[in-house]
Amino acid sequence: MNVDTVSGRLVVVTGAGSGIGAALALEAARRGAAAVAVLDVDLTTAEQTADAIRFADTGAAAVAERCDVTDALALRRLAEELCAEHGAPGLVCANAGVTAAGGPLLEADLADARWVFEVNFFGVLATLQAFGRPMATSGEPGRLLVTGSEHSLGLPHAGAGAYTASKHAVLGVCEALRAELPPHLGVSVLCPGLTASRIWASGSRRPAQFGGPAEAQPLAQQVIERGMSAEVVAARAFDGIEAGHFLIPTHYNARSYADARTAEAAEAFDRLGEIDTQSWDVTEVATAIFTELAAAESETHIEPT
């Protein structure tokens, strides 16, 4: 689907107080959005992004709201309010995400992994449901953008296992949505590589039930600060959205991880060879069952002569 879903429409961005989310919110305004909902668990930074949008003088209205994507009920209420005021969004960027302390998975603290999934997986799903449902019923063209990662496509580096798994999980969500969404809606998954942001500090906001605030790792900060600028990532994201692409990578170097995954899968199937005479394709099996059931049903309805 290659349709402009941004011009003159509401664009919603979660995690828009910093980094990639702030850049997506600003880029939405530059590309003609009528209003940008700048949502973040940190209202102060959300307001800073909204101020930057107003300062950019694009004509877009900016609405800053405190929003914790792990609170599905609050998200639904906020979605209802925003839709009532601005109409169903043309674009929703489910971008908020966190990373936890690095280290080998066998030694990892499960609380870290649960928190990462709470925000990066359940928070994304809750965002997609809260805004996707009114978008589906509105009948207007729209797009859902999920910020995945190069970690969605392969393994750029070890030591971030739970984060990698959460980013694979949202790729799965997007693939499933692609098959399920009504034709007027599209979905894209943004797969950035190393990007300059404050993600290295995300542990400082870890809630008590997941172990409370965690200390940032100085090396992580140094590495992240050398990343691509979030503005370039956002511009590439919108180019991909405008073209209607499903996968939107932003860093060419990440291609090697994706290629390695694809090549390994191909080699594994080549080793297996075409040794089966029967197919266990789930859709084919389910279709066969439906056909058998329908045939049995019609037999039981044959009127006696």
Ligand X SMILES: NC(=O)c1ccc[n+]([C@@H]2O[C@H](COP(=O)([O-])OP(=O)(O)OC[C@H]3O[C@@H](n4cnc5c(N)ncnc54)[C@H](O)[C@@H]3O)[C@@H](O)[C@H]2O)c1
Active-site residue numbers? 163
Footprint (CB under 6 A) of ligand X, residues 36-95 = 40-42, 45, 67-70, 95
Sign, CA dihedral 44-46-50-56, equals positive
Q: Is 127 in the site for ligand X (CB under 6 A)?
A: no
Q: Is 12 in the site for ligand X (CB under 6 A)?
A: no
Q: Is 202 in the site for ligand X (CB under 6 A)?
A: yes
Q: Is 20 in the site for ligand X (CB under 6 A)?
A: yes
Binding mask 237-276 for ligand X (x = CB under 6 A): ----------------------------------------
Q: Which is nearer to ligand X, 27 or 141 (CB)?
A: 27
Q: Is 14 in the site for ligand X (CB under 6 A)?
A: yes
Please tell me the count of residues contacting ligand X according to CB under 6 A.
32
Q: Is 214 in the site for ligand X (CB under 6 A)?
A: no
Q: Which residues bind ligand X (CB under 6 A)?
A: 14-15, 17-21, 40-42, 45, 67-70, 95-98, 119, 123, 147, 149, 192, 194-195, 197-199, 202, 224, 227
